[in-house]
Amino acid sequence: MNIQLSILGAAAALISSFFLLRRRKISRLPYPPGPMITDMPVFDSWVHYRNWTKQYGSLIYIRNRNILIINDLQVADDLLERRARIYSDRESTPILRMSKIENINWAIQCYGDKWRKNRRFFQQIYRRATIDRFHPTQYKEVQLFLRRLFTTPSDFMEHTTALSQRNIYTAVYGLDIEANHYIARKTAKTLEEISKMLLPGAFPLLAHLPWLQFLPSWFPGCGFKHFAKQVGESLDEIWSLPFDLAVDNLKYGKGSSLIADLAISLEHKGEELHELKSMGLMSALAGADTTGASISSFILAMILHPDVQAKGQAEIDQVVGTDRLPTFQDRKSLPYVESIYREVMRLYPPLPLCVSHASIEDDVYRDCFIPKGCIVIPNIWAMNRDPERYPDPNAFRPERFYELPKGPFTGIDDISAFGFGRRICPGRHMADNTVWLTFASVLATFNLGKARDEAGSEIEVSGEFTNAFFCHPKPYKCSIVPRFPSAKELILAARDA
Ligand code: HEM
């Protein structure tokens, strides 16, 4: 017995000295090049990060903040996909810990069993094989969107927000929730606040003086404590409120829903019930703004590129005709529309800096040392504008996908707007369907153009985007008119479809 113990002890000592020696050896390697930054840029940071490439290359390490910025798709693929075991963690900052939102918002949960269970549960609902279950909701909501565009075209931005929110509330909770509903407003506000917490440079004082978190909230400079607490309470509320409504509706015979049906079947399983509620929360939180941003960017792109719009419309007229709306079955026959979709997602990724990943182990890449605990920022915006991969990268040119030898219908994971590796967006099949169907249906029925002022002159569109965590067009004006007389009938007839 004693001999066995000594052998085990010797083996353990050998293994730990091996790892110690290895760490010493690899930590002598240089870090990837990069600047020393006191305050990280908060606005247009993806542009700043891309501009650093000229000086430091596409892999940039900020040593005093332990932040790695990836500006290149190949590097993202090498690290976040192929070494996903190392790079699938999230950073747990003091502000996030204070808000206690990690417990139910698993998009920011650390890589571990809890996150794994939540994600597995979520994926069962949104996996590709069963994603068609959402088609009826998607048709219904897109048709409602068309009718609203027809009735009050100048409110198109509100209609876009409503479409992306309603799609989730109807599909998951069976609730008829408009954008001005308390739940929708609270969710949008909470998301805005959480995204503030996720910005690398957003709480500079706390980043420099982390011990401030232990002082009371009335102490000068500690207002962030109150903010964090209030975000935690808001999140709790939107975690429960729509869920309770959906369950009550089922109990009192007012209608069933995906989430309520599952809740009944999981009634006595506490942990799974928790995951179910988080599934609903995460759908609303992660799914609405991102989808809305893509649709808004599409409308803007069509105004600015009437030639592209006309080509998309011509393809639909030829393949679908003018007496019905496009369906998912038409998708594979509409390569130019697909190319428009891919180009919108390339140029205007709603989350230009993805959601930061973090590493759980020391690593060596291209002869450089990347330390454990490193925050990894995938700069999707820069990757999608890489001139080697996309010549003339700032031009909106769907032909770059249309003219590919294999055509535009490559896998959904080729759209790098959805992130990477084990953290890749698990709602992407749902998002892909909603966004595509909206683009195709709008092209089929409306002409989008610049609005005109009272004197009849075109109102210029700035083409500006928000520049913090989310990237979506700033408010702009637009003219939306049915393409031909029978388009009006098509839009209104869809009510009974
Ligand atoms: C156009 C629409 C969408 C875009 C561009 C988008 C993009 C993203 C991105 C970039 C991430 C981070 C991935 C990473 O860390 O590597 C993400 C995560 C996530 N998305 Fe989406 N998303 C969209 C729609 C949706 C929808 C509709 C849902 C739900 C139905 C959803 C649910 C989630 C969840 C739960 C996560 C967290 C995943 C995790 O941390 O493991 N997203 N999304």
Interatomic CA distance for residues 358 and 186, integer angstroms: 29
Supply the pLDDT for residue 205.
83
Give the model confidence (pLDDT) of 366-417 as tens digits: 999 999 999 999 999 999 999 999 999 999 999 999 999 999 999 998 998 9
- Region 222-232: what's the mean pLDDT? 92
Interatomic CA distance for residues 273 and 271, integer angstroms: 5
Supply the pLDDT for residue 364.
97
Atom of ligand 1 nearest to the CA of 109: 40
CA of 162 to the centre of ligand 1 (A): 19
425 carries a ligand binding annotation = yes
Pocket probe mutation, ligand 1, options 418, 422, 433, max atoms within 8 Å of Cβ: 418
How many other CB atoms are there within 10 angstroms of residue 81's CB atom?
A: 14
Atom of ligand 1 nearest to the CA of 422: 41
Average pLDDT score over the chain: 92
Atom of ligand 1 nearest to the CA of 357: 15
Interatomic CA distance for residues 301 and 136, integer angstroms: 28
Q: Residue 236: is it exposed, middle or buried by C-beta count within 10 angstroms (0-12/13-18/19+)?
A: middle
Nearest residue (by CA) to ligand 1, atom 25, is 287
Nearest residue (by CA) to ligand 1, atom 1, is 291
Give the model confidence (pLDDT) of 302-316 as tens digits: 999 999 999 999 999
Interatomic CA distance for residues 126 and 54, integer angstroms: 40
Atom of ligand 1 nearest to the CA of 108: 40
CB of 137 sitting under 6 A from ligand 1: no
Interatomic CA distance for residues 93 and 375, integer angstroms: 11
Query: In which residue are the tokens 């009849």 written?
Result: 456
3-state secondary structure of 231: helix
Contacts of 496 (CB under 8 A, 6+ apart): none
Token code pair at residue 141: 């909501």
Residue 195 has pLDDT above 60, yes or no: yes
Interatomic CA distance for residues 490 and 450, integer angstroms: 24
Interatomic CA distance for residues 43 and 469, integer angstroms: 8
Interatomic CA distance for residues 465 and 344, integer angstroms: 13
CB of 437 sitting under 6 A from ligand 1: no
Determine contact, residues 381/312, Cβ cutoff 8 Å. no
Determine contact, residues 277/202, Cβ cutoff 8 Å. no
- Angstrom distances, CA of residue 41 to CA of 151, 172, 318, 469: 42, 37, 48, 12
- Region 76-84: what's the mean pLDDT? 98
Residue 5 has pLDDT above 70, yes or no: no
- Give bridge partners of residue 376 from the DSSP assignment: 68, 357
Supply the pLDDT for residue 26.
67
Confidence of residue 497 (pLDDT cuts 50, 70, 90): very low
Q: What is the ipTM of this complex?
A: 0.99
Nearest residue (by CA) to ligand 1, atom 16, is 419
